[in-house]
Structure 1
């Protein structure tokens, strides 16, 4: 249920920054942007408090490097309690997009993502989490 409350005020410079943020990110209005920022802040606080979160770890690498695939499998095996699934998508130019769905305490997911994204040969890696409750 949405509750409308009034009385929030912002300095002109901060309001201009908010409008720029709304435009650059394609929000329909300021309220939508503010809701997004609040939810993001709540999720990040929960990550620090080790609440249960869910998310994905996305990594890209060249598929010709077979040792990377073996290393990914070994690391995910060590974290099987938080790995929900993983999949590979083979893209043009011998690139592999590896996506791992995860759920667990934020610090464990962060540790897993750090281990995966720092494998030698990984071209890009990112963890995205959100609250799971």
Structure 2
């Protein structure tokens, strides 16, 4: 483990301490480590766009839109190799939220997500991609 010191403007340090309080970090080292890991993962995603990933696609859609639910289901079946699971929630009389868990080559996952979000009647879509060697034991720790 390496140690280093950083200097921050007072206003940035105060904002960082408020961030720690909101997110439940117990110390600055832990918070900096988490921020660095998140930022570096985003950078890897931008530079390793062709690698393996897992992803979460969430979108709201109007279930009264003509045959939209059937079109969405057909798309997911057509990409069954990428689709792990789907969760469907009724928000109100006309809107539903779906969350689709995906796994596969990042380029294919993004193309599928874009195709699904482009369907007429789909609103508020967002894709969260996590790049990495999926299935490889990279943590070397045990879950009890």
Structure (1 or 2) with the greater helix fraction: 1
Aligned to 2:129: 129
**Alpha-carbon offset, residue 26 of structure 1:** 4.6
TM-score (norm 2): 0.72
Task: Report matched runs for 1:1-133 at 5 Å.
Answer: 3=1, 5-12=2-9, 14-48=12-46, 49=48, 50-133=50-133
After superposing the two structures, state which structure 1 stretch, 73-82 or 93-102, moved more.
73-82
Aligned CA RMSD, in angstroms, stands at 2.4
Secondary structure class of the residue paired with 1:72: helix
Q: Whole-Å Cα distance in 2 between the matches of residues 40 and 29 of structure 1?
A: 17
Where does structure 1 lack aligned partners over 5 or more consecutive residues? none
**Aligned pairs, how many?**
130
Question: Over residues 64-121 of structure 1, what are the superposed CA-to-partner deviations in whole Å (9 max), with x where a residue is unaligned?
Answer: 2242212212332343221112232223333211111101122222222222222221
Q: Whole-Å Cα distance in 2 between the matches of residues 81 and 117 of structure 1?
A: 18
Are the aligned partners of 1:58 and 1:98 in contact in 2 as well (CA < 8 Å)? Answer: yes
Secondary structure class of the residue paired with 2:128: strand
Q: Given the superposition, is the C-alpha separation of residues 29 and 65 from structure 1 closer, same or farther in structure 2, using an over 3 Å criterion? A: farther
Q: Whole-Å Cα distance in 2 between the matches of residues 54 and 15 of structure 1?
A: 34
Q: Whole-Å Cα distance in 2 between the matches of residues 7 and 35 of structure 1?
A: 12
